[in-house]
Amino acid sequence: MILTLTLFATLSKAQAESNEPEASFSEAELAQMLAPIALYPDSLLTHILIASTYPLEIVQAKRLQSKNKLLPTAQLMEKAEDEDWDPSVTALLAFPTVLDKLSEDLEWTQDLGDAFLQDEERMLASIQTLRHQADEANSLAEMENMSVSRVDNQIIIEPIQKEIVYVPYYDPRVVYGHWAWYNYPPVYWAPYPYYVRPPYGHFYWHSGVHISFNYYFSAFHWHQRHVVVVHHKNAHHYRHHGRIVTSHGAQRWQHKPAHRRGVAYRTPAVKHRYQSHRPSTLYSKQVRQADRHAIKHSSTSNKLHSKSIHTTRATRVNNLSHYNKQIAKQREQKFANQMHHKRNMQVSDRGVNKHKGGNNHAQTQQRLQQVSSKPSRYNRVQTKSSHKPAHKAHNNLNSQQNKASHYNRVQTKSSQKPTQMRSSAPSHPKVHNQKNANHKSNSQRSNSQKSNGRSHTKQRD
């Protein structure tokens, strides 16, 4: 993983250094970012371009201004002298609306400064292109508080009064007429507070800013396409634009990396030019992209590896599940065989017990016959115990015979005599029952004969 990231970082660094022309801003991008400030007076525009190369100091200046809103501009600028800021950053304290825009839109500010550092000549050429475009749209004629001059086909914008600088607000979508770069619309800012537009024209104006002598220390050298600066400490007069450019002490502006305060440069070429130890923003961006690509690649490989591991684990689980099912099936089969064998054993045991039970029954019958054939005390005990139920059965039979016929009533009377009851000897239950049965059959025969005789008598009649 580390080797992969190192390789990607090396390749990205080489690619970033080799693709320097591709990292430059295009004409459309330059026009897009310069549109809201290209018609500012030259003196203010030079301060904006120089200060944009120090974005961190712009933020610090805005904080100082926010903490001291009630201080006059002169005292605020004197207080800023102790902050060791670049003079252009300090000069912007007199223009709070401009400082607000620069500090609020830091991405735009940093791109503006990077483009100025990368190619100063192209930046100034783009400013002149936009000014000519506004002039063709007849928008520069409406700048009543500014002096617009044309020298060698170069449009110069200056304050009418050097002591008072007006900051115009305009809609870049309107003042430049037809916008040539459709895919790169101009940067649009909301109107500045307390700005008023005249009945005609496209420019909004506010009260002018009174400036000190130390404000005019930079200017555009339009023919050479670069910015020049002069020594501005303890100046006691206002310098004219032409005098600044042709002044004996004028020199080309040089960027001071110390005021950059650690902010990374955009391209590796600018980074090496000013000997910065921080990686360029393009290089850091490419490294982040390489890191994301490496992480994505590693995550993809990890997913594939985890998928293969998951597949292997799933195969193992399926094999184990199949093995467990086979073991369970074998156990169930073994248990079923055991139960079947046990049932067969129980059935065979029942057959043997049944055979033994039949023999026991035969033996029991034989013993009973032997006991009944012996005239022993056992028979007498059985006779005594069975006498009462036999006597009761005999009485019941006699009562039925009384109802059946007259002959049975006579027999019942004779059998109910106490002498006969007392003198009747006890007999065996089987013999007594047999007599009763014979007696019953005789009575039934007599009844049937009587009924037959009656039927014959009726027939004769």
Q: What is the pLDDT of residues 192-239, one digit of tens each?
A: 777 777 766 788 888 778 776 567 788 899 999 999 988 755 544 445
Q: 244, 266, 288 — which closes off a domain? A: 266
**CA distances from residue 48 to 24, 43, 98, 253 in whole angstroms, order as listed:** 20, 9, 9, 13
Nearest-10 crossing angle of helices 106-118, 55-67? 140
β-strand partners of 149: 156
For the full predicted model, state whether its pTM sits above 0.85. no
The predicted pLDDT at position 423 comes to: 40
Question: Residue 47's closest CA among 81, 95, 105?
Answer: 95
The 8-class DSSP code of residue 224 comes to T
Torsion of CA 122, 127, 131, 132, to 10 degrees: 0
* CA 241 to mean position of chain CA atoms: 62
The count of domains in the chain is: 2
Provide the pLDDT for residue 239.
54
The answer to whether residue 298 is domain-embedded is no
Whether 210 is covered by a domain: the verdict is: yes
Going by C-beta distance under 8 Å and a sequence separation of 6 or more, which residues neighbour residue 223? 152, 154
pLDDT average, residue stretch 103-124: 95
What DSSP element (H or E) covers 33? Answer: helix 27-34
Q: Is residue 299 part of a domain?
A: no
Confidence of residue 175 (pLDDT cuts 50, 70, 90): very high
Q: Are residues 94 and 239 in the same domain?
A: yes
Determine, yes or no, domain membership for 3.
no
Mean pLDDT of 175-182: 92
Q: How many percent of the chain have pLDDT more than 70?
A: 63
Q: How far apart are the first and last CA of the chain?
A: 141
Contacts of 29 (CB under 8 A, 6+ apart): 115, 184
Task: Give pLDDT, residue 197.
Answer: 73
Using CA atoms in the order 399, 404, 410, 413, what is the torsion angle rounded to 10 degrees? 10
The residue-averaged pLDDT of 265-282 equals 88
Alpha-carbon distances, residue 355 vs 30, 316, 351, 360, 361 (angstroms) = 120, 59, 6, 9, 10
Residue 199, pLDDT score? 66
Alpha-carbon separation of residue 163 from 143, 158, 203, 393 (angstroms) = 18, 11, 21, 159
User: Sorting pLDDT into bands at 50, 70 and 90, what band is 352?
Assistant: low
From 266, 283, 303, give the residue that closes a domain. Answer: 266
At residue 417, the pLDDT reads 45
H helical segments located in 223-280: 241-246, 268-273
* Contact yes or no for 46/55 (Cβ under 8 A): no
**Rounded (5°) CA angle 430-431-437:** 90
Query: Cα–Cα–Cα angle for 91, 93, 97, nearest 5°?
Result: 120
User: What are 416's two structure tokens?
Assistant: 């109910």
Q: Which domain holds residue 207?
A: 25-266
Burial classification of residue 241, based on how many CB atoms lie within 10 Å of its CB (0-12 exposed, 13-18 middle, 19 or more buried):
buried
Query: Is residue 191 assigned to a domain?
Result: yes
In this structure, the answer to whether residues 388 and 257 fall within a common structural domain is no
221: in domain: yes
Q: Is there a single domain that holds both residue 121 and residue 253?
A: yes
Q: For residue range 370-393, what is the model confidence (pLDDT) as tens digits?
A: 656 655 554 454 444 444 444 444
Residue 46 vs residue 282, higher pLDDT: 46
Enclosing H/E stretch for 228: strand 226-229
Give the number of C-alpha atoms closer than 13 A to the C-alpha of residue 377, restricted to the C-beta side. Answer: 0
The whole-number pLDDT of residue 81 equals 85
Q: Is residue 59 scored above 90 in pLDDT? A: yes
Q: 351 in a domain, yes or no?
A: no
Domain end residue (candidates: 235, 266, 297): 266
Averaged pLDDT for residues 91-106: 92
Which tokens belong to 45? 């525009």
Residue 434 within any structural domain of the chain: yes
pLDDT band at 441 (very low <50, low <70, confident <90, very high): low
Per-residue confidence (pLDDT) for residue 331, from 0 to 100? 84
Q: Is the pLDDT higher at 49 or at 323?
A: 49
pLDDT of residue 437: 53
CA atoms of 362 and 163, how far apart (whole Å): 152
Task: Return d(Cα 160, Cα 276) in angstroms, integer.
Answer: 42
Position 132, amino acid: H
